[in-house]
């Protein structure tokens, strides 16, 4: 099983949105039997909480399920348990490095994968309130990430 972790600061806005969007893409492509997604935050302020209402609203608007997603704080074992860690911004990447050695896990900003993206850090809608913009950025990043994983692991849709 290929494991993907989405990372942001508090795990209530950006990373749970990315987790839900990515899971939806996996289900649609039939790749959910080969790839799994999770999300976490650097901080533990919201542990156990559901996604922010703004995240829920934008996911519902796009008919994307978010059931089972609860905030959790990243742990040291995540650095080796996941194949990919997609951080939402550069501060998340730097914060992750303070936890220890990553090993073979590939760590990157989600939008680094989107070549034509004018921005590389997904803005935090907890502060900006712009959940629709974040959804658009996350959806592009997740689609590109899925293409990358399919190519790297030579997967075909549903196989």
The helix/strand/coil state of 50 is coil
Active-site choice (13, 14, 83, 142): 14
The helix/strand/coil state of 41 is strand
Catalytic residue status for 8 = yes
Catalytic residue status for 38 = no
Catalytic residue status for 124 = yes
Burial class for 105, CB neighbours closer than 10 Å (0-12, 13-18, 19+): middle
- Show Cβ contacts of residue 27 under 8 Å, excluding neighbours closer than 6 positions: none
Q: How far is CA 41 from CA 56, 59, 115, in A?
A: 17, 19, 25
Active-site choice (8, 109, 121, 142): 8
Residue 9 to residue 44: CA distance in whole angstroms: 9
Active-site choice (38, 83, 124, 142): 124
- Show Cβ contacts of residue 137 under 8 Å, excluding neighbours closer than 6 positions: 110, 111, 114, 117, 119, 122, 123
Q: At what angle do helices 14-29 and 53-61 cross, to 10 degrees?
A: 30
Catalytic residues: 8, 14, 124
């Amino acid at each position: 099983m290929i494991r993907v972790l989405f990372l942001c600061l508090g795990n209530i806005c950006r990373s749970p949105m990315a987790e839900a969007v990515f899971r939806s893409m996996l289900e649609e492509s039939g790749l959910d039997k080969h790839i799994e997604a999770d999300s976490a935050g650097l901080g533990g302020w919201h542990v156990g909480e559901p996604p922010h209402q703004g995240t829920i609203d934008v996911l519902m608007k796009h008919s994307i399920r978010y059931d089972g997603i609860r905030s959790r704080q990243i742990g040291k074992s995540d650095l080796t348990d996941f194949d990919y860690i997609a951080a939402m911004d550069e501060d998340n990447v730097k914060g992750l490095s303070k936890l220890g050695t990553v090993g073979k896990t590939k760590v990157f900003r989600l939008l680094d994968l989107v070549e034509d993206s004018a921005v590389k850090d997904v803005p935090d809608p907890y502060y900006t309130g712009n959940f629709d913009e974040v959804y658009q950025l996350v959806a592009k990043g997740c689609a590109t990430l899925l293409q990358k994983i399919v190519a790297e692991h030579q997967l075909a849709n549903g196989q």
